[in-house]
Amino acid sequence: MKFAILAAGEGSRLAAEGIKEPKPMVTLQGEPMLDRLIRIFESCGAETIAIITNNLSLQTQKHVLQLQAKGHPVQLVVQTTPSSMHSFHALMPLLGEGRFILTTVDTIFNEDEFHRFIQAFSNADASLDGMMAVTDFIDDERPLWVSTMADLTISGFHDTQASFQASKVGDECRYISGGIYGLDSRCFATLDRCIQEGQQRMRNFQRALVADGFHLTAYPFSKILDVDHVSDITKAEAFLSNTKPLKIIGIQRDASASPNRETADAAIFEAVAKRLEAAGAIVTRLTDEQFLNAFPDDNPTYDPLMDALVTHANGIFTMSRNLQTCVMLDIVERCYHIPCVNSGSGITTCSDRQQIYNRFHQTALRQPPTWFGSLYKERWPNDPVDAYELLDTLPYPIWIKRSLEHSQTPDDIIFASNEAEAHKALDAFVCRKIDEVAFSAHVQGDLIKFYGVAGEGFFEWRYATEAPDKFGLDNTSVTPHHYPFNAKALQEQCETVATCIGVPVYGGDAIIEADGQCTLLDFNDWPSFSSCRVAAAEAIADYVLMISRK
């Protein structure tokens, strides 16, 4: 659907009261009113957003052109007009055929109600010519009263409530116009005629629609405000603080960080997003690139609208493993106090086996004996251990693993029965330019995979033979012994690690030994949850909502 914003007014009353910015650039809670509408319209799937501003609003014109250059679907018309109806007429060529949404730039509403309005208008019968937002909250100097029938069909528009006279049973006048119009291009003929007749006000166009027999319906909002005076800014900010839904950002995992897991990773991300939306939150889905455009320092692709979106979010959930994204997540959390699930530092910790090993050690958790070595010692002269020098000291059999970054291929974890096999494995890592490796002692027992969300009571585990292998390998050949163990104790251990690292959404691998002891092998940030997606999405969404409301 196409959207349009009327922003050509002079804002003379605001200017007379000391406001220096043009009306579209007046900020509410740190966000320009124009940017707020663009953000909301984009979240509704706007194809294009046509904007008209007057000839004198150079600041607004420049801002819209900057947003256009950043890829936002905005179109700019610069024209000084005598009324909002004339501004609408100037935008008409950009609106094309079919339905569209038109608003004034200073229309302040509850975002959740607006989303429901868009959905209702989109799903309405094709015979409907228009759906107009109305409210019974009256705080306007010269409101336009709207009379409706019992089914909310609009019967007329009136300058005063006293001027209304019921024409049919059920006709009443309790609402005023909210400045949000859902219309069909069928109305353009009426608009053209109003211009030719010399009509001067939007309300006269609305009356003409009724006179021409257009089928219009009212859609009630609990409250709609406009901003004409400085005092209205305070009212609008108080209203938004009390009624606005949670704004949550989700950062997707790039396909390069999801080897053989693209579909599963995308599925859990979307399941969480939809669960949040079902709870009333407004979720904006971003890629790494889009998220990073929110930060201006030395950034040629800086996007001020994205900046406002990120810095005014109530919370962020992220599956990203991009290093730069993780750095900026920590800055957002530290400087703007926006909670992130998982934390940037926690995600980077999970990509470094030595850091994970150290955290396990700090929390006194059971783990296999592990050694770390470098394959390119000349690059790091301060590294104490050359990986090849360790080979004749290790207890075989042993696992040799890529130490930095998450596993990308099956060759990132190699089982070596003896020193010769270990030497061959290191040679293979060298050929692939892998710099750091970890050697982990082999532990006998049942291999399990676990999944959890700290603080939500969600914890599930599977034998490795029952869970799909990350790289599609056959993992059913080793029959588990089903050694008994304390799953609750394992959950407590994992939550200790999750809290310590900063990854409340986690997964990993463990060995259940014959005596029931659990040895942790790996700990990962936000796995795919393929075997328990529905329950995991519910727990993750509940956690994100909980921290976003604080």
pLDDT for 43-63, tens place per residue?
899 999 999 999 999 999 999
Residue 123 has pLDDT above 90, yes or no: yes
Residue 184 has pLDDT above 70, yes or no: yes
Residue 122 has pLDDT above 90, yes or no: yes
Q: The tokens of 475 are what?
A: 């993992």
Residue 473 has a pLDDT of 43
Residue 367 has pLDDT above 80, yes or no: yes
Within 13 A of 211's CA, how many CA atoms are on the CB side? 12
Structural domain includes residue 213: yes
pLDDT band of residue 244 (cuts 50, 70, 90) is low
Shared domain for 170 and 155, answered yes or no, is: yes
For 157-176, write each residue's pLDDT tens digit: 999 988 888 777 668 898 99
Residue 377 has a pLDDT of 58
Tell me which of 173, 208, 243 is where a domain ends.
243
Query: What range defines the domain where residue 49 resides?
Result: 2-243
Shared domain for 239 and 253, answered yes or no, is: no
Tell me which of 412, 441, 470 is where a domain ends.
441
Structural domain includes residue 544: no
Which residues have a Cβ under 8 Å from the Cβ of 538 and sit 6 or more positions away? 275
Tokens 């920590």 map to which residue?
330
Shared domain for 233 and 254, answered yes or no, is: no
- What is the mean predicted confidence (pLDDT) over 385-413? 88
Residue 259 has a pLDDT of 82
pLDDT band of residue 135 (cuts 50, 70, 90) is very high
Shared domain for 63 and 193, answered yes or no, is: yes
Which residues have a Cβ under 8 Å from the Cβ of 236 and sit 6 or more positions away? 28, 108, 225, 227
Residue 330 has a pLDDT of 94
Nearest Cα neighbor of 468 from 531, 412, 537 is 531
Assess contact for 343 and 502: CB atoms under 8 A.
yes
Shared domain for 222 and 133, answered yes or no, is: yes
Q: The tokens of 126 are what?
A: 């094709």
Structural domain includes residue 486: no
Tell me which of 320, 350, 380 is where a domain ends.
350
Shared domain for 8 and 148, answered yes or no, is: yes
Long-range (24+ apart) CB contacts under 8 A made by 201-209 are 201/83, 201/84, 201/85, 202/83, 202/84, 202/85, 202/88, 203/144, 203/157, 203/159, 203/177, 204/85, 205/85, 205/88, 206/132, 206/144, 206/157, 206/177, 207/156, 207/157, 209/129, 209/130
For 442-461, write each residue's pLDDT tens digit: 999 999 999 999 988 899 99
Q: The tokens of 72 are what?
A: 């936002």
Listed in sequence order, the DSSP H helices in 227-376 are 230-243, 262-278, 288-292, 304-311, 323-335, 344-350, 353-362
Residue 304 has pLDDT above 80, yes or no: no
Assess contact for 338 and 315: CB atoms under 8 A.
yes
Structural domain includes residue 545: no
Q: How far is CA 481 from CA 126, 131, 237, 463, 521, in A?
A: 64, 65, 62, 10, 18
Shared domain for 211 and 138, answered yes or no, is: yes
| CATH number (domain holding residue 331) | 3.40.50
Nearest Cα neighbor of 88 from 244, 175, 205 is 205
Q: Which residue has the higher pLDDT, 471 or 371?
A: 371
Shared domain for 134 and 30, answered yes or no, is: yes
Shared domain for 313 and 287, answered yes or no, is: yes
Shared domain for 8 and 153, answered yes or no, is: yes
Which residues have a Cβ under 8 Å from the Cβ of 393 and sit 6 or more positions away? none
Tokens 């909310």 map to which residue?
152
Nearest Cα neighbor of 331 from 318, 347, 319, 344 is 344
Structural domain includes residue 512: no
pLDDT over 70 for what percent of the chain?
95
- Regarding pTM above 0.85, the answer is no
Structural domain includes residue 159: yes
Shared domain for 24 and 50, answered yes or no, is: yes
Residue 409 has a pLDDT of 82
Assess contact for 362 and 338: CB atoms under 8 A.
no
Other Cβ atoms less than 10 A from the Cβ of 444: the count is: 9
Structural domain includes residue 516: no
| CATH number (domain holding residue 413) | 3.30.1490.20
Nearest Cα neighbor of 24 from 109, 105, 107, 111 is 105
Shared domain for 228 and 280, answered yes or no, is: no
pLDDT band of residue 474 (cuts 50, 70, 90) is very low
| Nearest-angstrom CA–CA distance, 400 and 281 | 44
| CATH number (domain holding residue 145) | 3.90.550.10
Residue 346 has a pLDDT of 95
The count of structural domains within the chain is 3
Which residues have a Cβ under 8 Å from the Cβ of 254 and sit 6 or more positions away? 287, 288, 320, 321, 322
For 476-490, write each residue's pLDDT tens digit: 446 899 999 999 999
pLDDT mean across residues, the chain: 90
Structural domain includes residue 467: no
One-letter identity of residue 469 = D
Q: Which residue has the higher pLDDT, 514 or 407?
A: 514
